Chain A
Amino acid sequence: MKESIFHRLYDTYHQDVFQFLIYLVKNRSVAEDLSHEVYVRVLKSYDRFEGKSSEKTWLFAIAKNVAIDYFRKNSVRASRTFDAFDWETNQLVSPTKSPDDLVELNDEFKELLEALEKCTGDQKMVIIMRYFQELSIAETAEILNWTEGKVKTTQHRAIKHLRELLTKENEKEAKSYESK
């Protein structure tokens, strides 16, 4: 029974969920561990899935929680404090190097992804869901348990923040180039 659920979920969503995780954590083996954890939690609680949301948004909501737990653990380890980790405010920065797939990207993509790391957690999450995963506003809102308005606002602010970060970075580099 559970095995057949696994096969169906894998065939339908596995690569999407994996990509969502790897863009969040930027490390292939961490993304593999987290996707394993997603299956563990999904299969454990599948009989409690009530169909209030779609299977897809339910699965992504679990993947999001698994990723946030990972960032929370890292944050506690790094700061050695047990202050509440608020993913919306904190930057969701993975402590590890980028996977090879991202190392070979052109300069503009690299700059953009570096800027994304400097955004707040809520902004990074919405950008990955809306643009990388091509999830709709309604799906994103359901996964994050937000209103659709909040998703639209956060997306708008994220784009604005990225533009400001990238423009600033360009100006900085232009200045250092001139001074040489």
Chain B
Amino acid sequence: MSQNKWDDDKIEDLLSSVPKIKDNRTKDDILQRLKDDGVFDDEPSEKITTIKKKRNWIPPLITVAAIALIALMIPSLTDRLNSENEEFATTSMEMKEESADMRTFNNEAAETEMGIMADTSAIYVKTAVYPEDLEGFTVFHIGLASDAAESIPFTVLIPNDQVMADLGKSNPTDVELYNYYAPIFDEEALGFQDYHPYKGTISESGNRVLHKLPAGHGYDMGSGSMGMYTGSLVDTFRTYDEVELLNEDGTPVVFAEVGEKSDPIQLHSQSTQYNYFKLTQNGSEYLSTNFRKFYATVEEALENMKVEDNEIFKSVILPGVNYTVTVNGDTVDVAFTSELDLLNYDGVAAMQMIEGMLLTAANFDKQVKFENIVQSEWGGFNFTNPLPIPVGPNKIPLLTK
């Protein structure tokens, strides 16, 4: 038995140095067995050529036959084609109208963005949603499926008027929002996989979400699917305490991956105290948890934002920047070791660091007060006061199919 502590580096070093195992048979032995099995028997290359030559006649023959057939059918086809063309023209018009709608929508979305960031320069755009953004909007959280088989959390702001028109009420629950918007939400338009709505039914009971899963749901197919599934539940139902997983007959689910009765998934516990990193998906960068790695304290979570331990999630901490973390009640003081001039950095990268820290502290229900930044105001933030706790990361408009 080894008494040494196992860590990732040691495991990777050992895996990289496993002994090479050779096949001791000779090449002739292997070849002979193939010959004995008749693998080379059908070889005569001329025969193959002849067959190929014969086959080569087939496509031209089909083409000639097809042309003859079309010639015979032309009179009747012409009429049909004409009417189909008319139909096609109508469809094109509808599509044009739809694109016009889409353009209007995009313009509206852009105007809303401009409104939110009117007090700041265009290069320092906040990407998270803050309490001040909620006026007139309803928040819809959703975890989308990235190419890395990990859920990325998003925050959608839907105008209250639209929610009223769609759901017939002004204060729907998050499960009601999910059941209405998830089926029509266009994940692929954002470059994510078509994952929602969940298979089965989603309902609620108090602070619990109930997911009834149909047989053969496939959420437990491999570690990737399980991780994506549980991560997306945490990202989507942030306002509830837990998700209970049931079979259609109401009995508890047993996942193949786990092999035993599944416990309810806790949505607010130590295991959801993540910190934030950035991930690139379809050419865009998003803030996300680092493979759901969680921490017991906010100090540890913020300190570990500097540590990259995989090739997918990259640190948002600006290069060469160090800081200390102290907790004061509901506020975390993040003091930069050297005076930090945010204008010396790329605006997007600087914003990712600030927002990554705010979102990390938010997972511990804490706000952040930054110390030792040259600017007292930047990117819509006033650094002389503790900054507000974000409502959610990665703001996106409601894109429907």
Contacts and interface: CB of A to CB of B under 8 A. Distances in A.
Interface in B1-16: 1-8, 11-12, 14-16
A10 interface: yes
A137 B312 CA distance: 12
A82 to B, nearest CB: 15
Interface stretch (A50-58, A59-67, A71-79, A105-113): A105-113
Interface residues of B, number: 48
A149 B149 contact: yes
A10 B148 CA distance: 35
A131 B27 contact: no
Interface string A8-42: 00100011001100110000000110011001100
A97 interface: no
Given A6-B31, A89-B220, A122-B223, A150 B12 contact: no
B8 A154 contact: no
Nearest to B35: A3
A6 B39 CA distance: 11
Contacts of B7: 163
A148 B25 CA distance: 35
Interface residues of A, number: 62
B147 A150 contact: yes
Most chain A CB within 10 A, of B8, B39, B40, B150, is at B39
Given A86-B221, A163-B6, A101 B19 contact: yes
B11 A112 contact: yes
A154 B226 CA distance: 11
B15 A149 contact: no
A121 B312 contact: no
A153 B30 contact: no
B223 A108 contact: no
Contacts of B22: 15, 18-19
Contacts of A39: 30, 34, 39
B222 A88 contact: yes
8 contacts: A1-B45, A3-B43, A10-B27, A43-B34, A121-B222, A149-B146, A152-B148, A162-B11
The 5 closest A-B pairs by CB, nearest first: A88-B222, A149-B148, A131-B15, A149-B147, A18-B23
Given A2-B43, A153-B148, 10 more contacts: A6-B34, A14-B23, A23-B21, A31-B23, A120-B223, A121-B222, A122-B224, A131-B12, A149-B148, A159-B11
